[in-house]
């Protein structure tokens, strides 16, 4: 994979058309002023670094855009999160807001969605809190067997900050590109009822599609200087761990909870 490559730079027309629908889902289901959501669990102590969950710095980039630097016990270090505030955020100090998580792809950062798409313009008239967290170069939106706990950071620690400091409500949707597409589908399937909708754009849907498929992700993690055995373990010996983070394997459980998977047509060349 070329350095700096991102599927976001080549979003198809159907993907762009999906954005209004995604925003409509969380605005309609969540409303502009929601009641308080379920409080996320606070972070726990990490032996490697940050012992207490806190926002170390907030950088104001524009009227709506903020960059947070968060000390995360789950990660043992500081991590960046970019926010786009709801359009009426200043005018409604008592309101709670529906949330849209946008997850970046491999080898990229929290900046990718505002750098490579027009998401800021697309949400310019929306009362939605858009959350674009870092997910590691090859973090795969998982709590590693040994190492960073990205899932805990995103869905427990970061939620706590969003609810406390930015009045996030309980209505949430999640979308991602490439590796982030895997994260969006896996998060929605692994946490029933947490997200009202999930979307995967050019995403990884089956990490075990063929016997050789896991090697791609093992090599990808290794290419970013990480030990792939620390992520989900050995593809054969730790079969259950791989399956527990694989959207395809999680599909039957999702169907049992009356959620549906709907592919959208499109070509990455558009």
Quickly list DSSP for 124-184.
TT---EEEEE--TTT-TTSB-SSS-BHHHIIIIIHHHHHHHHS-EEEEEEEEEETHHHHHH
Q: DSSP code of 181?
A: H
CA of residue 214 relative to chain centroid, distance: 22
| pLDDT at residue number 113 | 96
Smallest Cα–Cα separation from 217: which of 202, 234, 201? 234
In this structure, is residue 250 part of a structural domain?
yes
DSSP 38: P
Residue 16 in this model has a pLDDT that exceeds 60: no
- What is the Cα–Cα distance from 98 to 109, expressed in whole angstroms? 23
Instruction: Tell me: pLDDT of 167 over 80.
Output: yes
CB neighbourhood size of 164 (10 A): 12
Q: Would 199 be classed as within a structural domain?
A: yes
191 DSSP 8-state letter: S
Q: What is the pLDDT of residue 138?
A: 96
Question: In the prediction, which pLDDT does 266 show?
Answer: 53
Whether residue 14 lies inside any domain: the answer is yes
pLDDT at site 17: 52
Q: For residue 266, is it within any domain?
A: no
Q: Please compute the mean of the pLDDT values over residues 70-87 and round it to a whole number.
A: 97
Q: Is the pLDDT of residue 50 over 80?
A: no
Indicate the pLDDT class of residue 108, thresholds 50, 70 and 90.
Answer: very high
* Whether pLDDT at 43 is above 80: no
Average pLDDT over residues 79-85: 98
Residue 88 falls inside a structural domain: yes
Total domains in the chain come to: 1
Categorize the per-residue pLDDT at 148 as very low, low, confident or very high, splitting at 50, 70 and 90: very high
Residue 1 lies in a domain: no
> Would you say residue 113 lies in a domain?
yes
Mean of pLDDT values over 33-37: 37
Domain, as residue range, for 186: 10-256
Q: 194 lies in a domain?
A: yes
CA distance linking residue 194 with residue 215, whole number of Å: 31
pLDDT at 24: 56
The tens digit of pLDDT for each residue in 218-269 reads: 999 999 999 999 999 999 999 999 999 999 999 876 655 556 556 665 544 3
Q: What is the pLDDT of residues 170-190, one digit of tens each?
A: 999 999 999 999 999 999 999
Instruction: Check pLDDT > 90 for residue 49.
Output: no
Q: What is the CATH number of the domain that holds 187?
A: 3.40.50.1820
* H helices, E strands: number in the chain: 9, 7
Q: What DSSP string describes 41-74?
A: PPP---SSS--S-EEEEEEE-SSSEEEEEEEETT
């Amino acid at each position: 994979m070329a350095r700096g490559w991102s599927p976001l730079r080549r979003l198809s027309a159907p993907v762009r058309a999906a954005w209004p629908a995604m925003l409509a889902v969380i605005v309609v289901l969540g409303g502009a002023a929601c009641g308080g959501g379920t409080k996320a669990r606070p972070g726990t102590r990490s032996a490697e670094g940050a012992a207490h969950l806190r926002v170390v710095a907030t950088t104001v980039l524009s009227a709506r855009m903020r960059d947070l630097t968060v000390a995360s016990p789950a990660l043992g270090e500081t991590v960046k999160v970019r926010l786009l505030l709801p359009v009426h955020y200043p005018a409604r100090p008592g309101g709670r807001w529906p949330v849209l998580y946008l997850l970046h792809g491999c080898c990229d950062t929290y900046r990718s969605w505002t750098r490579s798409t027009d998401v800021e313009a697309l949400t310019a008239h929306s009362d939605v809190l858009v959350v674009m967290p870092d997910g590691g170069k090859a973090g795969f939106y998982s709590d590693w067997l040994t190492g960073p706990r990205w899932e805990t950071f995103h869905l427990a620690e970061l939620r706590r900050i969003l609810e406390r400091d930015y009045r996030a409500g309980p209505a949430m949707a999640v979308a991602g590109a490439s590796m982030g597409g895997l994260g969006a589908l896996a998060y929605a399937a692994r946490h029933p009822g947490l997200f009202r909708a999930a979307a995967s754009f050019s995403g990884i849907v089956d990490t075990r599609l063929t016997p050789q498929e896991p090697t791609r992700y093992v090599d990808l993690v290794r290419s970013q200087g990480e030990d792939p055995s620390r992520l989900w373990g050995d593809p054969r010996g730790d079969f259950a761990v791989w399956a527990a983070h694989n959207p395809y394997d999680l599909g039957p459980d999702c169907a049992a909870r009356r959620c549906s998977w709907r592919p959208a047509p499109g070509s990455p060349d558009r």
